[in-house]
Amino acid sequence: MAYNGKNYHGWQVQPNAESIQGMMNHAIGLILREEVNLVGAGRTDTGVHASEFFAHFETTQNLGDDEELSHLAFKLNNFLPKDIAVYRIFPVGPKVHARFDATARTYKYYISRIKNPFHYDTSYYFYGELNMERMNEAARILFSYKDFTSFSKTNTQNNNNLCDLYDAKWEEENDTLVFTIRANRFLRNMVRSIVGTLLDIGQGKLEVLELHRVIQQQNRSSAGFSAPARGLFLHKIEYPDELFD
């Protein structure tokens, strides 16, 4: 599935707020006429988008073959609002878990270098000079570390703040800068605070090598600002091939 997160308080159901999970539970429950609770691959924050997202649910019903499941997805899309789309529904084994079986996740952050009314809700319009070479040099420093406490929200329920980083780089696509980061897991607010810190480096507010100090202090206040949620997309989630055999 995919969604535009602008109108939602993130993936997870919460009281007195619209969530992607809540909308999905309600829509599938109406169609199947039973209570359904989707378990998502992660918990995107308020305003964050997903161009690829997986969730699993259990049902007492036999939902049929591929053709019937395709029709179910079509019906579900008719129930859902225009900013949430389901691409495919398929059966998996009883032990498959959308969150815990994921081996890697990729996020992309989009920065518009010109004011574009058509990209306002899906990118961060940033005015000012940015040194891409310095930003990529700093991004490479991230690979020297596993503890990313400095880029995490405080008072979370994580057992630890360790992440295995596989990719982190800036690229330029026409009038847009794209930051791609891939890891086995991410902490709450991690990508947006990394982006904000790298933007400080790109503006010359922070020296490249000072990023070592920022990370080593393991204190959120040492890092830069949190970039706006509207520019962040959960881009890809990876699973072992055998889960889908």
Task: Give which of 114, 133, 152, 150 is closest to 201, Cα–Cα.
Answer: 133
Taking the C-alpha atoms of residue 185 and residue 166, their distance in angstroms, rounded to an integer, is 10
Place of tokens 């859902």: 80
45 in catalytic set: yes
List the catalytic residue out of 45, 66, 101, 245: 45
Task: Give which of 47, 69, 67 is closest to 59, Cα–Cα.
Answer: 69
Place of tokens 């891409």: 132
Greatest CA separation for the chain: 59
The first and second tokens of residue 193, run together, are 């605070």
What's phi and psi for 226, nearest 5 deg?
-90, 115
The first and second tokens of residue 208, run together, are 């490249």
Burial 152-190 (b: 16+ CB within 10 A, else e): beeeeeeeebebebeebebeeeeebbbbbbbbebbbbbb
Taking the C-alpha atoms of residue 14 and residue 34, their distance in angstroms, rounded to an integer, is 20
Active-site residues, by number, are 45
